[in-house]
């Protein structure tokens, strides 16, 4: 149940707060006062699309907030906890801020959430029925939805299974579409795949091969300089017998001999001897290494060509298949999988077709069970609607639900149409071809009266659904709304005094203008104010003794009727 509703800087509203009650809450006021703006604000709070045009002129943002005490709070709180939102054991608070910069904010219990999460929660809270739903009532899919609402929980398992099977069929269809390849195109793709896989396999790529080849190429292209430097270094260390050049090692040996005789005289000399001796052995080892390295340095033009050719091949593969050797291998794996897929296409095609046939058979099993349930419940609904319409002064109306079978869908195989014959002797015809606005209002109210028994929603909102009715019919509509109010919270915007007189709580909405500033306000009427408002609705702006007495009488009769209900 909606208990508190607050709106700020929204359209003509500066700021207002409304405290609703259980039962029938009626909102009345002059045309253009802003009654539908309030319902519009609630609709936007519950997930409808918001426009910055709705922000009051001169303000940076609009704010809407509602507090609910839902019957299904445990179910809602379970959803909130799974989404990581703090739940309240008694209350649910939704809020929405619409900003000029488009950076809107949605909150549940003070925590930021997405608009889709608000929508998920709102389906348990409010059902808004406005004049536009007259057109919705003419649509076949909406009629089917209304029938399913009447059926209630009995259909849920069947519908859930049907949706699952239909979604599996869609996936199978997508797989079949992927298998539907032109034979010529398939042959060309197979040739290309085989060529690419073979090209990568023939390359026999190794880990770290590029780095090793690049290093080898650097050595080969600088071989002459390396060779000359190594030879000079070796000659400098070992000396050159042919040129009688004395190497560093020979000089160190000479120094060591002289130090050997003197090292016992001074500790520092002994230390110099040790250091120089270590240097000798290190240089000797370096000389051996330089000699071995020099002997391996052989210029081989063929080897340089082989390295350059190998690098060129790998570079070509990188351009085509991936920047690294690992990426090239991954590409080959994907191509092998694609090749296997194409080669096994006929087998897969047969498997998918068999799976599709089995799914379709299972789908129709559940769809026909649901269809049988709908047809059975449709007969019950026809009888109840006829009875409700009779109460709404459509005594001789014949109402029938006709079924035709359509292709598989998320909601089963049924397409239905509501047919009506408002007068005796007339043929049954679709609502769109025969029903007037007043008749549509009564049919929708009859449906809502019936569905209120099984509906999951706590709060029903009727926005000027009394279009085209008056007199006795208006009284019957008022009684129906009051009856729904016994089971659900009802908010109703109306121009009919008959409906206003049946209210459990009556709000008056007024548009005021002060110093070029227009704004909408709302008042919770006391008994006297309520009497005067109903008198105004009966007789216009000027109140007379007659309209006041008539209003008092209507209120007395309404209280008596509510006690009967």
Residue 404's SS3 state is strand
Question: Parallel, antiparallel, or unpaired: how do β-strands 92-99 and 459-463 relate?
Answer: unpaired
Q: Are 161 and 364 in contact (CB under 8 A)?
A: no
Alpha-carbon distance of 361 to 177, in angstroms, equals 21
Residues 6+ apart with CB under 8 A from 77: 87, 88, 89
Q: Which residues contact 170 (CB under 8 A, 6 or more apart)?
A: none
Contact status, residue 451 vs residue 149, Cβ threshold 8 Å: yes
State how far the Cα of 316 lies from the Cα of 321, in Å rounded to an integer: 9
Other beta carbons within 10 angstroms of residue 558's beta carbon come to 22
Task: Spell out the domains of the chain, with CATH numbers in brackets.
Answer: 1-125+457-526+557-565 (3.40.50.300), 187-342 (no CATH)
Burial class of 90 by CB neighbour count within 10 A (0 to 12, 13 to 18, 19+): exposed
Does the pTM of the predicted model rise above 0.75? no
How far is residue 219 CA from its own chain's centroid?
A: 60
CA neighbor of 482 nearest in space, from 457, 500, 466 = 500
Segments of the chain with pLDDT less than 50: 243-244
Measured CA to CA in angstroms, residue 518 lies from 3, 9, 62, 64, 97 at distances of: 27, 12, 16, 19, 22
Q: CA 524, CA 508: separation in Å to the nearest integer? A: 7
Q: Rounded to 5, what percent of the chain is helix, strand, coil?
A: 60, 20, 25
Nearest to 314 by CA among 339, 306, 299: 306
Q: Compute the distance between CA of residue 543 and CA of residue 446 in angstroms, rounded to an integer.
A: 34
Using one digit for the tens of pLDDT, what is the confidence trace for 104-147? 899 999 999 988 888 888 878 887 776 555 556 677 887 898 89
DSSP state letters, 164-193: HHHHHHHHHHHHHHHH---HHHHHHHHHHH
Beta carbons within 8 Å of 229's beta carbon, 6+ residues apart: none
Determine the straight-line distance between the first and last CA of the chain, rounded to whole angstroms. Answer: 21
The pLDDT score that the predictor gives to residue 454 is 61
Q: From CA 282, how far away is CA 545, in angstroms rounded?
A: 127
Counting every residue written for the chain, the total comes to 565
Q: H/E element holding 285? A: helix 267-296
Output the pLDDT for position 414.
96
Name every residue whose Cβ is closer than 8 Å to that of residue 425 and which is 6 or more positions away in sequence. Answer: none
Whole-number average pLDDT of the chain: 84
Q: Which residue is associated with the tokens 């023939």?
A: 202
Q: Quote the pLDDT of residue 65.
A: 95
Q: How far apart, in whole angstroms, are the C-alpha atoms of residue 392 and residue 473?
A: 5
């Amino acid at each position: 149940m909606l208990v508190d509703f607050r709106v700020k800087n929204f359209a003509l509203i500066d700021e207002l707060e409304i405290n609703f009650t259980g039962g029938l809450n009626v909102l009345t006021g002059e045309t253009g006062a802003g009654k539908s703006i309030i319902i519009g604000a609630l609709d936007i709070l519950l997930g409808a699309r918001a426009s910055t045009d709705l922000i009051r002129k001169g303000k940076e943002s609009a704010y809407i907030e509602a507090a609910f005490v839902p019957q299904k709070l445990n179910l809602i709180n379970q959803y909130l906890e799974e989404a990581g939102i703090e739940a309240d054991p008694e209350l649910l608070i939704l809020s929405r801020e619409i900003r000029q910069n488009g950076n809107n904010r949605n909150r549940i219990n003070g925590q930021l959430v997405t608009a889709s999460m608000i929508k998920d929660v709102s389906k348990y809270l409010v059902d808004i029925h406005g004049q536009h739903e007259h057109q919705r009532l003419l649509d076949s899919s909406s009629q089917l939805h209304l029938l399913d609402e009447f059926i209630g929980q009995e259909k849920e398992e069947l519908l859930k299974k049907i949706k699952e099977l239909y979604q599996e069929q869609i996936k199978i269809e997508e797989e079949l579409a992927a298998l539907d390849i032109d034979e010529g195109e398939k042959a060309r793709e197979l040739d290309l795949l085989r060529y690419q896989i073979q090209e990568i396999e023939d390359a026999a790529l190794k880990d770290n091969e590029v780095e090793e080849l690049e290093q080898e190429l650097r050595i080969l292209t600088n071989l002459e300089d390396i060779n000359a430097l190594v030879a000079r270094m070796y000659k400098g260390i070992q000396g050159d017998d042919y040129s009688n050049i004395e190497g560093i090692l020979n000089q160190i040996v000479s120094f060591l001999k002289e130090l050997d005789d003197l090292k016992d005289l001074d500790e520092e000399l002994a230390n110099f001897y040790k250091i120089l001796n270590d240097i000798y052995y290190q240089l000797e080892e370096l000389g051996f290494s330089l000699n071995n390295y020099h002997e391996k340095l052989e210029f081989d033009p063929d080897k340089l060509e082989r390295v350059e050719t190998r690098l060129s091949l790998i570079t070509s593969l990188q351009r085509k298949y991936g920047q690294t050797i690992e990426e090239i291998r991954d590409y080959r794996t994907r191509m092998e999988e694609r090749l296997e897929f194409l080669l096994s296409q006929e087998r897969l095609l047969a498997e998918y077709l068999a799976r599709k046939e089995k799914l379709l058979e299972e789908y129709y099993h559940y769809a026909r069970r649901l269809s049988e349930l709908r047809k059975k419940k449709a007969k019950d609904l026809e009888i109840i609607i006829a009875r409700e319409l009779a109460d709404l002064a459509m005594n001789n109306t014949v109402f029938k639900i006709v079924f035709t079978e359509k292709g598989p869908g998320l909601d089963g195989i049924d397409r239905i149409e509501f047919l009506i014959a408002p007068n005796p002797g007339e043929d049954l015809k679709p609502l769109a071809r025969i029903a007037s606005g007043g008749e549509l209002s009564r049919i929708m109210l009859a449906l809502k009266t019936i569905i209120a028994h099984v509906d999951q929603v706590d709060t029903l909102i009727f926005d000027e659904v009394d279009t085209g009715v008056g007199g006795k019919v208006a009284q019957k509509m008022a009684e129906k709304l009051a009856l729904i109010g016994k089971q659900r919270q009802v908010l109703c915007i109306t121009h009919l005094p008959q409906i206003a007189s049946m209210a459990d709580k009556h709000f008056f909405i007024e548009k005021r203008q002060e110093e070029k500033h227009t704004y909408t306000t709302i008042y919770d009427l006391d008994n006297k104010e309520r009497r005067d408002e109903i008198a105004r609705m009966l007789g216009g702006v000027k109140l007379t003794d007659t309209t006041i007495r008539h209003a008092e009488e209507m209120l007395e009769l309404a209280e008596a009727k509510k006690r009967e209900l």
